[in-house]
Amino acid sequence: MKRATGFVALAAIVCLGFAGCGGGGGATVKGVLVDESNQPVADAEISFEPFDRDQKIGADVTRSDASGRFEIRPHAKKRGLAPGKYGVFVAKWVNKKTKQAPPAEEMEMEKAAGTVYNLYPRYANREEGPQLTAEVKSGTNDLGTLQVKSK
């Protein structure tokens, strides 16, 4: 009997552990980032921050892939994006000489050294406010195509 009770207790602990790893709160947000020529913008940082800075609705950042696609999903260790209006900020950092994005693991070092610049500075300026916004609802949000211009 003790063995059966111990097994049930162990099974309950394992189930609770898996339930806790099933993902955090927040919505899924996805879309495609393109430039003024409708070409995909790869390796860009896309940040979602509350439009009203006094709101505590979460914030998150992701990167676009080679085809300009990006996605933010709920994660067990993050608060995620709650429903609300967000400012969307975009930065694509490239090396001043090569015009290529440095490897992700070297990005912060390159920023600190001043060897990279942002191709889309007006979309990253938090003091002037966001050039792009998104209304996020519960569940999955497909933002479609977001266009940025370098000038």
Local structure of 94: helix, strand or coil:
strand
pLDDT at 41: 95
Q: What is the largest CA-CA distance in the chain?
A: 74
pLDDT at 72: 94
Report the number of distinct structural domains present in the chain.
Answer: 1
Burial class (CB in 10 A: 0-12, 13-18, 19+), 88: buried
The CATH number for 127's domain is 2.60.40.10
pTM, rounded to two decimals:
0.76
32 occurs within a structural domain = yes
11 occurs within a structural domain = no
pLDDT at 30: 97
3 occurs within a structural domain = no
90 occurs within a structural domain = yes
From first to last of its 151 residues, what are the pLDDT tens digits of the chain?
555 444 444 344 333 333 344 445 789 999 999 999 999 999 999 999 999 878 888 899 999 999 999 999 988 777 789 999 999 999 999 999 999 989 889 989 999 999 999 999 888 888 888 999 999 999 999 999 999 998 7
In 3D, which of 53, 65, 61 has the Cα closest to residue 79?
61
42 occurs within a structural domain = yes
Range of the domain at 137: 25-147
pLDDT at 147: 95
**Do the Cβ atoms of 86 and 49 come closer than 8 Å?**
yes
pLDDT at 24: 59
